[in-house]
Structure 1
Amino acid sequence: MKIEVGTEYQISEDVKRNFNSADAMTIIRQVGAIVQFKLNECKGHGSMPLPHLQYLLKKNYLNERINKRQFIIKGDEEEQIV
């Protein structure tokens, strides 16, 4: 799974307490096997190993947010395929 800089993830209620009760986090940098992120609502920042981020995604503790621009572009691509 490829992690892109700028991707925003929704944090589930189950693990919110581990992330200063923030609703979402945004990836700001990936250096090797370490991912750095900032928490939304100015609740802080941090880093974690890439395998741990992948684990959180696999267990649905983090879910990728799709912004409106990505949603519209994806919708246009699907219409063109048909």
Structure 2
Amino acid sequence: MTIEVGTKYQISKEIKSIYNSADTLTVTRLNGATVQFTLGDGKGYGAMPKQHLEYLLKRTDLTEVTNKRMMLKSEQSEKDIV
């Protein structure tokens, strides 16, 4: 899975307390091996090694939130194919 700027992740309840009880984490910048992010509801910001973010995704402590606009766009593309 590739990590991109603007990607939003849902934080699992098991690790929410580590992230100021925020529900979401959004990637704001990729800087080499470091990922910078903001927390949902204005609960803060931070940075972590890219490898650690990949680990959290693998453990499903973070799950990607599907962007509704992208979902609608992909549905439209599927209709165009038929």
TM-score, structure 1 length as denominator?
0.93
Q: Deviations over 1:28-51 (max 9, x none)?
A: 000000000000111000000001
Matches within 5 A, 1:6-25: 6-25=6-25
- Aligned-pair RMSD on alpha carbons? 1.0
Q: What is the rounded CA distance, in whole Å, between the counterparts of 2:76 and 2:15 in structure 1?
A: 35
The runs of at least 4 aligned residues of structure 1 exceeding 3 Å deviation read none
Indicate the residue corresponding to 1:28 in structure 2: 28
Q: In percent, how many aligned pairs have the same letter?
A: 51
Are 2:64 and 1:64 aligned?
yes
Indicate the residue corresponding to 1:76 in structure 2: 76
Indicate the residue corresponding to 2:54 in structure 1: 54
> Structure 2: which 5+ runs fail to align?
none
Indicate the residue corresponding to 2:40 in structure 1: 40
Tell me the amino acid that sits aligned with residue 59 of structure 2: K
> Structure 1: which 5+ runs fail to align?
none
SS of aligned partner of 1:41: helix
Q: What is the rounded CA distance, in whole Å, between the counterparts of 2:80 and 2:57 in structure 1?
A: 30
TM-score, structure 2 length as denominator?
0.93
Q: What is the rounded CA distance, in whole Å, between the counterparts of 2:14 and 2:80 in structure 1?
A: 39
CA apart distance, 1:17: 0.6
Give aligned pairs, total. 82
